[in-house]
Structure 1
Amino acid sequence: MKHMRAWLAEFRGSLTHEEVAVAAKISRSTYTNIELGKRNPSVEVAKAIAKVLGFEWVLFFEKKCHVSKQKSKTA
Structure 2
Amino acid sequence: MNKQKIAETLVKLRGNRSREEVANAVGISVSALQMYENAKRIPKDEIKLRIARYYGVPVESIFFKQ
For residues 11-45 of structure 1, what are the alpha-carbon distances to aligned partners after superposition, in whole Å with 9 as ceiling and x for unaligned?
11111111110000000000110111100111100
- Segments of 5+ residues of structure 2 without an aligned counterpart are none
Q: Which residue pairs with 1:52 in the alignment?
A: 54
Q: Which residue pairs with 2:27 in the alignment?
A: 25
Instruction: Give the AA of the match of 2:29.
Output: S
Q: Which residue pairs with 1:3 in the alignment?
A: 4
Q: Percent same amino acid among aligned pairs?
A: 35
**Distance between the aligned counterparts of 1:63 and 1:48, measured in 2?**
18
State the Cα distance separating 1:54 from its structure 2 match: 1.8
SS of structure 2 residue aligned to 1:49:
helix
Question: What TM-score, normalized by structure 1, do the two folds share?
Answer: 0.72
Number of residues of Structure 1 aligned to a counterpart in Structure 2: 62
State the Cα distance separating 1:63 from its structure 2 match: 4.9
Measured on the aligned residues, the alpha-carbon RMSD in Å equals: 1.5
Greater RCO, CA 8 A, separation 6+ = 2
SS of structure 2 residue aligned to 1:15:
coil
**Distance between the aligned counterparts of 2:56 and 2:11, measured in 1?**
13
Instruction: Give the AA of the match of 1:42.
Output: K
State the Cα distance separating 1:53 from its structure 2 match: 1.5
**Distance between the aligned counterparts of 1:28 and 1:35, measured in 2?**
10
Instruction: Give the AA of the match of 1:56.
Output: P
